[in-house]
Structure 1
Amino acid sequence: MLQAWNTPHQLPPFDQVQAEHFEPAFDVLFAEHLAEIDQLAALNEPASFENTAAAFDRSGLRLERAQLLLDNLTSSETSPELQEVERRMASKQAEHRSRIYMHAGFFARLDAIHAQRDNLSLNEEQGRLLDLIHRDFVRAGAKLQGAARRRYAEVVSKLAELTTAFGQNVLADESEYTLQLAENDLAGLPPFLLDAARAAAEARQLPGWAITLSRSSIVPFLTFSQRRDLREQAWRAWTGRGEHPERDNRPLAKQILALRVEQAKLLGYASFADYAIANRMAGAPAAVHALMDQVWEPAKARFESEKAMLREEAAKLGEPADIQPWDWFYLAEKVRIARYALDDAEIKPYFGLENMIKAMFDVAGRLFGLSFSERHDL
């Protein structure tokens, strides 16, 4: 992680990366990044866009490379060893971010050029970059002083630790659960789902078929399975992620919410919603509520009309009239077929991975003039 990656497009050498490499590499890269910011803060020349905002944007690239590698692996090909690294590194990464974004010397220079931005003859991209960097510093507590500054760093560090634990609990529940199916459990399942379930069972060295809690497995199962008892089992497992006694996310959620309120108030916001939305399109919680108010009553009315259709379909199929959450996908699909001639099982093959990749590249070509060709040597 500290060497140049002499690979095509500098792709990570995944086969050489071990979990135990990350922490010592991060220790070096944290120090390297902080030294870069110290150097920028200590410049004798007057602050300018180039030696402040643009220079900051170029800093820490080796650290970012290592961070992206860890994020990639923990979200796609994780292991107990990597998860332990992720847990240990969460607070360290947050502490490093606080050291950077609360760097008084550098922020003084950044704040000075931001105040003069209208007189700097910046182009649109430069102005946007300066605004974004300055905003990130302010939202990370750069203007706080004394005890408030120290407490903000503590809150951010603890939040990183808690949110990492929260995500890992959900991931563990998803990866451990398997609904194993035998021949007499397959009624209603279309070929594409049977193929996926067979592959999932083989990957887990199980006989028969297996339904997992990944959305691409659980949603089709709830949509097509004629076995109401199995749909209920799967639905309860899906909605119960993070509730197991040994990995209960509810106390973590309470702590996260309390810390988010404190984080927002330290920065002068009335609530975490105000803080979170300040740099989003809506701008303020009131705008979100206004939109919700527009759609809430029509949505409830639509829900009731759809529920009536589901009840009619349930009666035709001899299904119980007390429609439960695990019945909704299944009955909705029956209504689609009966009333609109839309069969998800027939439509699904048109949205296979290869077709979706082609569609995505086509859109990127139309919007941005980019073209893509597959490489088989990477």
Structure 2
Amino acid sequence: MSADVRPSNPFAEPSPLPYGLPPFAECTPAALEAAFEQGMAAQLAEVEAIVATPGPATFDNTLEALERSGRLLRRAQRVFWLLTSADTNPELEALETAYAPRFAVHADEIMLNRRLFDRIDALYAERAQLGLDAEQVRLLERYHTDLSRAGAALDEPSRLHLADLNRQIAECSTAFGTNLLADTNDSAVLFSDVAELDGLGPDAIGAAAEAARQRGLDGYLITLVLPTHQPALESLHEPASRRRLLAAAQSRGSRGNAYDNRDLIRRLAVLRAERAELLGYRSHSDYVLADRTAKDNASVDDMLHRIIPAATANASREAAELAAAKRADGDDAPFEASDWAYYAARVRRDRYAFDASAIRPYVELERVLTDGVFAAATLLYGLGFVVRDDLAGYHPDVVVYEVFDADGSGLGLFVADFFTRDGKRGGAWSESLVPQSRLLGERPVVANNLNVPKPPAGSPALLTQDEVATLFHEFGHALHALFSDVSYPRLSGTAVARDFVEFPSQVNEMWLSWPAVLDGYARHVDDGSPLPPELAAALRNPPTFNQGVETVASLAATWIDLAWHRLTRAEAAAVTDVAEFEARALAEAGLDLDAIPPRYRGPYFNHVFASGYSAGYYSYLWSEVLDADTVEWFREHAGDLRAAGQAFRDALLSRGGTAPELELYDAFRGRPARIEPLLARRGLC
């Protein structure tokens, strides 16, 4: 295929659509491939021009020029990464397989460019005398760190070896994600008799029938979400149905078929450890944490070891209560992991008069979005939202909203894609299509993806309590991107340390139960009646029951990630059995509770083997320390939420990566974060 980027190619110039929204109908695989080829060549030429500039390096001729480079390639890559996650097909998968290693090689040609590093290093040495403003100093520091950690200062043989490792890691990560999507689709559980789904609501059964119909199957198809826990497990009365569903979730990526990920896990562990050693670190985890707010394994362990004993003690008590509830049902069979969610819902309902399934008729997707998520953003930040029917997404399910600031000016675009489909990977995520930058004159375009089962035509999409929380969570990421007010793309929006990026999104979850917000969106889908008082009270003041179990499941996934990525190269090479290795790691940490499966196991742990969270899944708990502390701050300032929201936006959400993240937090809060609010939230103190 020709590599020429013709004027008609949608990536040749910035999109003429509002805010630079990509013209998705024109973003074909052929256009993407052509843009990749010329985009990589163009960026390398731009970098060569930077390093060949006569005279000494300056901020403008080196760093600012570097920030301006690669725009064609980035436009194409952002669309490509969105499509391969949210609406892939065999052509896109073939492109991903072909170009993931080539992108890694291309990035290394820049990040391992010794002449570029020497120019940046010279500026870094003189940074105090350059008259730079604070954001420019931060940009210089970040690039110096980026290239140093990439290995630019290594000798040439080491740089060549490092580039080869990066290429192999990219190939393995891409294969892992492709395998997982295919195996997740194949592992969907088909039930032939509706009686097997006894306990599910009519809307969930309708969604299962629709999923089967879309695949040309007879019966009812329960598609799988990414974590081990499947929402239907809370409601299915039949133990055999629960066992089938949990077994399908846990076996993904390890069924001995063409999509088996176990060899890829072992290979990734070896490759990442070898790369870390080449860069001077004992393990991949040591390498990753050195550039996180946590800084080192000891700090992460200190947090985890403050949580694990209390969490496991609570979980053991909760598991005993759940087993007693099973026996009270007249079922004397041993308590199983597939019983956990079902009996947790039962005990919660009996003890607290709280039935999570009873919430579903009151939380219809469109209303939760407009009268909940958007309404909270209006309450706090004065934002307005308008559907842009004239702007097309990349799939018929996608809706594009224009976001307006409190003064009526256009802030950016929000792209909403909430329904599951075979071409979409599991889970939920946020993705920037156009990061904000004053240097490039760009305003933000950000997409949120969920995986809500699509109801039959004409039926409402009713949510679970977890799906409501996820909707608020992902919009927190969107706000972080939309509020960005920085000069340089490298520091824009969510371009912050991985163990800080979840903090704004976790904070945004608090508004789902804030009375003024909850009363607005929690309305019965048929008659608009408000949520019954007992359900509203339970949402506003959720019991800490089952928090021990939930915390242990999250801790277990965190420990699996750390166990793989704390291995040296020799230790990783010695692992022969993935399941045995992970079981031993959980046992050593005291997290091997039979009835509580980890939130993820290695073969379907997309976060750490196919995304950017390797040695970083701890970030969710780490960020939750900041989150819980900030929730307290908002409650202290509840008398004027609009002013509080503006203060939070100005101090944190608008700043991107323009300063060390914990410095921003400490300045906002007036002190470092305290862990006690998190422990109280999870019933651990």
Fold match, TM over 0.5? yes
How much does 1:228 deviate?
1.1
Separation (CA, whole Å) in 1 of partners of 2:17 and 2:305: 53
Query: Which residue identity is paired with 1:346?
Result: A
- Deviating beyond 6 angstroms after TM superposition, the runs of 4 or more aligned structure 1 residues are none
Instruction: Answer with 1 or 2: which has the greater Rg.
Output: 1
Separation (CA, whole Å) in 2 of partners of 1:99 and 1:215: 34
Residues 1-378 of structure 1: pairs in structure 2 closer than 5 A: 1-4=10-13, 5-181=15-191, 182-215=193-226, 219-245=230-256, 246-358=258-370, 359-365=372-378, 370-378=383-391
How much does 1:368 deviate?
5.6
- Counterpart of 2:388 in 1: which secondary structure? coil
- Counterpart of 1:260 in 2: which secondary structure? helix
Structure-2 change in CA distance of 1:202 and 1:282 (3 Å): same
Structure-2 change in CA distance of 1:117 and 1:372 (3 Å): farther
Q: Gapped runs of 5+ residues in structure 2? A: 1-9, 392-685
Query: Which residue identity is paired with 2:310?
Result: P
Structure-2 change in CA distance of 1:371 and 1:135 (3 Å): farther
How much does 1:377 deviate?
1.4
Q: Gapped runs of 5+ residues in structure 1? A: none
Separation (CA, whole Å) in 1 of partners of 2:376 and 2:133: 28
Conservation of the 8 A alpha-carbon contact between 2:230 and 2:246: no
Separation (CA, whole Å) in 1 of partners of 2:124 and 2:378: 36
Conservation of the 8 A alpha-carbon contact between 2:198 and 2:237: yes
Which stretch shows the higher mean deviation, 201-210 or 87-96? 201-210
- The higher-RCO structure (CA 8 Å, 6+ apart) is 2
How much does 1:341 deviate?
1.6
Tell me the percent identity.
Answer: 37
How much does 1:41 deviate?
1.0
Structure-2 change in CA distance of 1:324 and 1:93 (3 Å): same
In the TM superposition, what whole-angstrom CA distance separates every residue of 1:134-172 from its partner, at most 9, and x where no partner exists? 211112111111221111111011000001101111111
Conservation of the 8 A alpha-carbon contact between 2:326 and 2:332: yes
Query: Which residue identity is paired with 1:376?
Result: D
Conservation of the 8 A alpha-carbon contact between 2:230 and 2:245: no
Query: Which residue identity is paired with 1:315?
Result: R
In the TM superposition, what whole-angstrom CA distance separates every residue of 1:181-200 from its partner, at most 9, and x where no partner exists? 32222210023422322332
How much does 1:352 deviate?
4.0
Q: Which has the higher helix share?
A: 1
Query: Which residue identity is paired with 1:159?
Result: I
Separation (CA, whole Å) in 2 of partners of 1:23 and 1:80: 14
In the TM superposition, what whole-angstrom CA distance separates every residue of 1:333-376 from its partner, at most 9, and x where no partner exists? 11110111221112244554334434444455566664432222
TM-score (norm 2): 0.53
In the TM superposition, what whole-angstrom CA distance separates every residue of 1:199-227 from its partner, at most 9, and x where no partner exists? 32232233332101125997221111111
- Counterpart of 1:372 in 2: which secondary structure? strand
Which stretch shows the higher mean deviation, 80-89 or 352-361? 352-361
- Counterpart of 1:210 in 2: which secondary structure? strand
Structure-2 change in CA distance of 1:161 and 1:215 (3 Å): closer
Separation (CA, whole Å) in 2 of partners of 1:170 and 1:249: 8
Conservation of the 8 A alpha-carbon contact between 1:311 and 1:321: no
Number of equivalent positions: 378
- Counterpart of 1:373 in 2: which secondary structure? strand
Separation (CA, whole Å) in 2 of partners of 1:38 and 1:351: 55
In the TM superposition, what whole-angstrom CA distance separates every residue of 1:241-261 from its partner, at most 9, and x where no partner exists? 111322221111111001111
Conservation of the 8 A alpha-carbon contact between 2:187 and 2:252: no
Separation (CA, whole Å) in 1 of partners of 2:195 and 2:382: 52
Separation (CA, whole Å) in 2 of partners of 1:229 and 1:189: 15
Separation (CA, whole Å) in 1 of partners of 2:48 and 2:382: 40
Query: Which residue identity is paired with 2:12?
Result: Q
How much does 1:267 deviate?
1.0
Conservation of the 8 A alpha-carbon contact between 2:228 and 2:250: no
Separation (CA, whole Å) in 1 of partners of 2:267 and 2:380: 43
Structure-2 change in CA distance of 1:142 and 1:361 (3 Å): farther
Q: Which has the higher strand share?
A: 2
Conservation of the 8 A alpha-carbon contact between 1:197 and 1:217: no
TM-score (norm 1): 0.93
Separation (CA, whole Å) in 2 of partners of 1:16 and 1:206: 33
Separation (CA, whole Å) in 2 of partners of 1:188 and 1:341: 18
Structure-2 change in CA distance of 1:126 and 1:172 (3 Å): same
Conservation of the 8 A alpha-carbon contact between 2:322 and 2:344: yes
For the aligned residue pairs, the C-alpha RMSD in angstroms reads 2.1
Conservation of the 8 A alpha-carbon contact between 1:211 and 1:218: no
Conservation of the 8 A alpha-carbon contact between 1:196 and 1:217: no
Per the alignment, residue 482 of structure 2 pairs with none
Separation (CA, whole Å) in 2 of partners of 1:362 and 1:130: 39
